[in-house]
Amino acid sequence: MLERNDLWNLIKFSMEQDLSKITFQTFVEPAKPLQLDNSQMTIEVPTNLHRDYWEKNLAAKFTDLAMQATNEQIRPVMITEEEHQQLTKDSQVTTGNVAAGQSANATTPTFMRETKLNPKYTFDTFVIGKGNQMAHAAALVVSEEPGSMYNPLFFYGGVGLGKTHLMHAIGNKLLESDPTRNVKYVTSESFTNELINAIQTKKQEAFREEYRNVDLLLVDDIQFFANKEATQEEFFHTFNALYEENKQIVLTSDRLPNEIPQLQDRLVSRFKWGLSVDITPPDLETRIAILRNKADLEGITIPDDTLSYIAGQIDSNVRELEGALARVQAYSRLNNSPITTSLVADALKSLHLNSKLSEVSIPVIQEKVAKYFHVTVAELKGKKRNKQIVIPRQIAMYLSRELTDSSLPRIGNEFGGKDHTTVIHAYDKIEAALKTDTEMQKSVGDLKGQLKA
């Protein structure tokens, strides 16, 4: 399935060709896609008049274009800006959910994240490569002997590298061998929201029952436990209850437990009791294998050299790789032409993959930062920890993450083989300093100006 924005951009592009300029500018340009799930796209428009026009004149065209692009029936659901604001307010009141990014803008279909396991995320569909070999092996062991070897099993690493996939694979495998097992998958955000609901509706006992009676608990993205005292307190007790009963716990995060801000020490130490394994970005061969696997599963015909071309363009994460393939597939359908390397180049052009990378590279950033602070590039890549070097090094890492598409491990590598968590730490530090420290604002502003010039 294409990502919401990707599909929207393709449809918008086709509408622009078909509609008069004035109709396009009046009704399509101000529309905003909010959410895409399997059968509908929710689209926000400024007024009732826009909504009526869409429903009467554009909805059918939208569905046709979406069908051409994805081969699926997707209907547009129009809401006005005012209705959207009201809905967002209502959902905050009922769920206590005020965290950014959890409104109707969420792009992940809720059925995958919050209620059940995604049946597509199995060991069979997971491609093993250097960066995930150990994680895969540990996941397999845990799915065969839950609660005995590695408890908890903790996966960490950058976004879109397969942590959730492996976690679901454990659950799916366990249920396949014994459908009576009680498996619960939850994101840390849903855990928090369910807890808040339970407190508000005085159903804490039921909440505890539900969580403490599982055979396998899968909690995704636990970095969002950061700073959430009540959630951490509750989770601590859930963890203990399950652990004592030898029930398996699997956790994922974008960083190691001790790097999650304000995570209680007692949780950090418990999370380290079992096995922590990192997942690093796939190398070129693995990326090609993932694409080939995906293309086969979807029945897409695509030549080998074209697959290699896509894999060479996108080295950051697997989700983007899959998004690129979906985009290419949609582009080929809309243009009614077979997938070739030149079609792929056209389809991916608007992602500006090369221009972003070639405009600013990590060595250029290192050179500019070193010059600005009168240190050497070797010192930035080295291990010295005095303030005169540490701050420029952290700024250079921050800028590398902001201005290039490089993955965290790749940035770490370019800085003398440092761990990706060091890059996260540097980024967080500079980001926090930029909020209050005027000297930092000036240095980073100057450097950005120089780099973009």
Ligand X SMILES: Nc1ncnc2c1ncn2[C@@H]1O[C@H](COP(=O)(O)OP(=O)(O)OP(=O)(O)O)[C@@H](O)[C@H]1O
Binding-site entries for ATP: 160, 162-164
CB of 368 to ligand X, least distance (A): 31
Determine what percent of the chain falls in helix, strand and coil, rounding each to the nearest 5. Answer: 60, 10, 30
Q: Does residue 132 interact with ligand X by CB under 6 A? A: yes
Using CB under 6 A as the binding rule, whether residue 256 contacts ligand X is answered as no
Candidates 87, 106, 141, 159; binder of ligand X (CB under 6 A) is 159
Quick check: 153 binds ligand X (CB under 6 A)? no
Between 2 and 45, whose beta carbon lies closer to ligand X? 2
| DSSP characters over 67-110 | HHHHSS--EEEEEEHHHHHHHHHHHHHHH---STT-STT--S-H
Closest CA to 312 of 343, 291, 297, 339: 291
Distance of alpha carbon 152 from its chain centroid, rounded?
A: 23
Beta pairing class for 32-36 and 40-45: antiparallel
**Closer to ligand X by Cβ: residue 132 or 407:** 132
Q: Which of 76, 152, 162, 281 touches ligand X by CB under 6 A?
A: 162
Structure tokens at 304: 């080998």
Binding residues: 160, 162-164
Contacting ligand X (CB under 6 A), which of 44, 221, 259, 414? 221
Contact 161, 308 (CB under 8 A): no
Query: Of 399, 424, 387, which is closest to residue 409 (Cα–Cα)?
Result: 424
Q: Which residue is nearest to ligand X (CB)?
A: 162
Q: Which of 6, 194, 315, 322 binds ligand X (CB under 6 A)?
A: 322
**Distance separating alpha carbons of residues 232 and 195, to the nearest angstrom:** 11
Based on the shown chain and the rule CB under 6 A, indicate whether residue 420 belongs to the binding site for ligand X: no
Binder among 256, 307, 314, 318 for ligand X (CB under 6 A): 318
Least distance (Å) between residue 285 CB and ligand X? 12
Residues 197-202: contacts with CB within 8 Å, 24+ apart?
197/94, 197/95, 197/96, 199/230, 200/96
Alpha helices by DSSP H, 299-351:
304-313, 318-335, 341-349
Does 135 sit near ligand X (CB under 6 A)? no
Q: By CB under 6 A, is residue 163 in contact with ligand X? A: yes
Q: Assess 319 for contact with ligand X (CB under 6 A).
A: yes
Nearer to ligand X, 1 or 268 (CB): 1
Closer to ligand X by Cβ: residue 145 or 296: 296
CB 34 within 8 A of CB 105: yes
Query: Which range touches ligand X (CB under 6 A), out of 176-184, 211-219, 315-323, 343-351?
Result: 315-323
Q: In this chain, which of 4, 84, 165, 287 binds ligand X, going by CB under 6 A?
A: 165
C-beta separation of 253 from 260 below 8 A: yes
Binding site residues, ligand X, CB under 6 A:
121, 125-127, 132, 159-165, 221, 254, 290, 318-319, 322
